[in-house]
Amino acid sequence: MADSNTSYLCATCGWVYDPEQGDPDGGIAPGTPWEDIPDDWVCPVCGVGKEDFEAIEQAPVEQAPVEQPAELALHHDDQPPLVIVGTGLAGYSLAKELRKRDSGLAITLITSDGGEAYSKPMLSNALARHHQADDMVQKSAAAMASEFDLEIRSRCRVTAIDREQHTVQITDDDGAGSLKYDRLVLALGADARVFPASGSDDVGIATVNDLDDYRSWRAKIADSGRILLIGAGLIGCEFANDLASAAFEVVMVDPAPWPLARLLPQQLGFKLVEALQQQGCTVHLGRTVANYKQGHEGFVAVLDDGREIAFDHALSAVGLSPRIALAESAGLEVDAGIRVNRTMQTSDPSIYALGDCAQTQAGLLPYIAPLLAQARLLAANLCGETGSLALPAMPVVVKTPVLPLVVCPPPAGSEGNWEVESDNEGALALFRNADGNALGFALAGNRTSEQQQLAKNMPPLLAVEKEEIATEETSRVSGGETASETASSYECDFCGYIYDPAEGDPDGGIAPGTAWEDIPEDWVCPTCGAGKEDFTVVG
């Protein structure tokens, strides 16, 4: 029997496997102990394997030990703290990575929300799991502050950055003030967009982009009703599937010719439409809402072909706008996001950015896997290393249990064609260029299990800067180190992480001084999860 107090936390996205609930959409019945889950099962949110989960003793949220108030946590010295703005997955992942490396660093997090640690991706499949907002809280701000020795100011907004004085202006219930920083990290996330149409203000179109949004959306829609879903992208389709599985009547509208049009070939897009229709959703593609009006009961959306759709509540899922205003008004370089270089540094050397608000050299990357790689790299750099961001291909799991999908799109601007192999059980689509090289893929149904294997042969999101690594290695080896330190190092072909035998990988259970040959075969790259076979000797 499963130990009912032990759950398993996905170290990549924060999803929690609770043996009592199982993962019915992934074929794991409620009551299945962790040990009995097949080894090829993957996290339903981000697609990583069982080896990326860690056991946690789960206390109900209301029983979480309330230590000293977060605001009273003490600094270790008189230095201004490292300040992180934002306690989403980016802010908290960075804080945890920093704490692994430096137990004494003073870290202050400021957030305009409640500071609860939760898995944002679960917002779009929470209804099917009968979750209220509070069920999704993994840890309160106070529990995070206590466990990781952080100062957390929740329900506190940063309104300006004074780069000369190294201070941020803040406002909370107690009024306005300022806080000094040593180094500042912006992990501000992105705002959900609403497509404007005449009458939309009267309808009150909702977006669900954080826990507070989910709490008010859940209260608004109660348990039944007609939902107008605007947007058939990744998040829109996830919400459509989730709402329909909880017995809501869903009508989805999108101007694109098929759902997830930028990520899927037409054939797979239509498969998804069929699956959603079988679940009871109505899908209007190639259409947009021209205007809204009051109906006899509820509201009416008038489409651009004149068709009228009656609904009770509207949800917008038409994309995100990175939060750049704070950075822009402080004079930092911004574009679609806050511009960062490969060390995650903005145009001000004391200010960094990561997560949904950051624009890397690979563009905006509003997904969990790149965000976690950024957090690890930035933590290492803030603790004195000089690493450079490199990202392998990172497939994204689309949480539409009605048709499981994994997408790994080709690099933006790639030219080529999709080749699709499909049968009743699933589909594999490969995007190939004129030379026949596969640059991206999409998988459906039973073919989704091929994602990790395929990803290894895809172009990286951001290739390793070879020269930089060679220089770094040379200078390290020529620095007069001990025999064990000069044993061969190995570089991950995907993300550029270097395994240095002198340092080992203590977080992965590999003690300093362990030679490459002595690392167990099931060890994986701590940065991107690639196996030993994906490493190459570098010196």
Ligand X SMILES: Cc1cc2nc3c(=O)[nH]c(=O)nc-3n(C[C@H](O)[C@H](O)[C@H](O)COP(=O)(O)OP(=O)(O)OC[C@H]3O[C@@H](n4cnc5c(N)ncnc54)[C@H](O)[C@@H]3O)c2cc1C
Q: Using the rule CB under 6 A, is 501 a contact of ligand X?
A: no
86 binds ligand X, rule: CB under 6 A: yes
Q: How far is the CB of 211 from ligand X (least distance, A)?
A: 9
326 binds ligand X (CB under 6 A): yes
Query: Alpha carbon of 171 to those of 87, 111, 189, 469: distances in Å?
Result: 16, 11, 19, 43
DSSP string, 108-140: EEE-SS---B--GGGGGGSTTTT--GGGG-SB-
Q: How far apart are CA 290 and CA 277, in angstroms?
A: 23
# residues near ligand X by CB under 6 A: 37
Cβ 394 vs Cβ 409: under 8 Å: no
Confirm if 445 and 267 have CB atoms less than 8 A apart: no
The residue from 9, 16, 43, 45 that contacts ligand X (CB under 6 A) is 45
Q: CB of 491: closest distance to ligand X in angstroms?
A: 26
**Smallest separation, CB 425 to ligand X (Å):** 23
Contact mark string toward ligand X, 379..398, x via CB under 6 A: -----------------xx-
Residue 110 or residue 283: which is nearer to ligand X going by CB?
A: 110
Binding of ligand X by 12 (CB under 6 A):
no
Q: What is the number of other CB atoms lying within 10 angstroms of the CB of residue 319?
A: 16
Based on the shown chain and the rule CB under 6 A, indicate whether residue 189 belongs to the binding site for ligand X: yes
**Nearest-approach distance from CB 169 to ligand X, in angstroms:** 10
Shorter beta-carbon distance to ligand X: residue 327 or 469: 327
Backbone angles phi, psi at 25, to 5 degrees: -65, -25
**Coil/strand/helix, residue 323:** coil
Minimum distance of ligand X from residue 3's CB (angstroms): 28
Query: Is residue 231 near ligand X by the rule CB under 6 A?
Result: no
Interacting residue with ligand X among 96, 120, 284, 376 (CB under 6 A): 120
- With respect to ligand X, which residue has the nearer C-beta, 234 or 469? 234
Residue at 409: amino acid letter:
P
Taking the complex as a whole, the smallest distance from the CB of residue 404 to ligand X amounts, in Å, to 12
Q: Which of 518, 398, 467 is nearest to 25 (CA)?
A: 398
8 Å CB contact between 252 and 243: no
Task: State yes or no: residue 364 binds ligand X (CB under 6 A).
Answer: no
Among 37, 82, 85, 251, binds ligand X (CB under 6 A): 85
Q: How far is CA 341 from CA 181, 301, 362, 390, 489, in A?
A: 21, 44, 10, 11, 26
Q: Does 187 bind ligand X (CB under 6 A)?
A: yes
By C-beta, is 264 or 510 nearer to ligand X? Answer: 264
**Is the CB of 81 or the CB of 86 nearer to ligand X?**
86
- Which residue stretch of 3-11, 30-38, 107-115, 529-537 sits at the interface with ligand X (rule: CB under 6 A)? 107-115
Per DSSP (E only), the strands in 378-516 are 396-398, 405-408, 417-422, 426-432, 438-445, 490-492, 498-499
Cβ atoms of residues 76 and 60 within 8 Å: no
Contacts of 420 (CB under 8 A, 6+ apart): 265, 267, 268, 427, 428, 429
- For 181-319, where are the E strands, in sequence order? 184-186, 190-192, 226-230, 249-254, 282-285, 289-294, 299-303, 308-311, 313-316
Could you give the CA distance from residue 350 to residue 332 in angstroms, rounded to a whole number?
Answer: 11
Of positions 100, 129, 157, 180, contacts ligand X by CB under 6 A: 157
Binding mask 272-311 for ligand X (x = CB under 6 A): ----------------------------------------
Residue 407 in 3-state DSSP?
strand
Tell me the closest approach of the beta carbon of residue 89 to ligand X, in angstroms: 4
Whole-number minimum distance, CB 15 to ligand X, in Å? 9
Q: Does 112 bind ligand X (CB under 6 A)?
A: yes
Does the protein bind ligand X through residue 454 (CB under 6 A)?
no
Q: What's the closest the beta carbon of residue 133 comes to ligand X, in angstroms?
A: 13
- With respect to ligand X, which residue has the nearer C-beta, 354 or 525? 354
Q: Residues with Cβ < 8 Å from 24, sequence gap 6 or more? A: 30
Q: Is the Cβ of residue 330 or residue 464 nearer to ligand X in the bound state?
A: 330
Whichever of 83 and 309 has its CB closer to ligand X, that residue is: 83
Cβ of residue 344: shortest distance to ligand X, in angstroms? 12
Task: Report yes or no: 161 and 354 within 8 Å, Cβ to Cβ.
Answer: no
What is the number of helices (H) and of strands (E) in the chain?
Answer: 10, 31
Report the sign of the C-alpha dihedral through residues 516, 464, 92, 456, in that order: negative
Q: Does 89 bind ligand X (CB under 6 A)?
A: yes
Among 22, 81, 265, 366, binds ligand X (CB under 6 A): 366
Which positions lie near ligand X, rule CB under 6 A?
45-46, 85-91, 110-113, 120-121, 123-124, 157-158, 187-189, 208-210, 235, 323, 326, 355-356, 366-368, 371, 396-397, 399
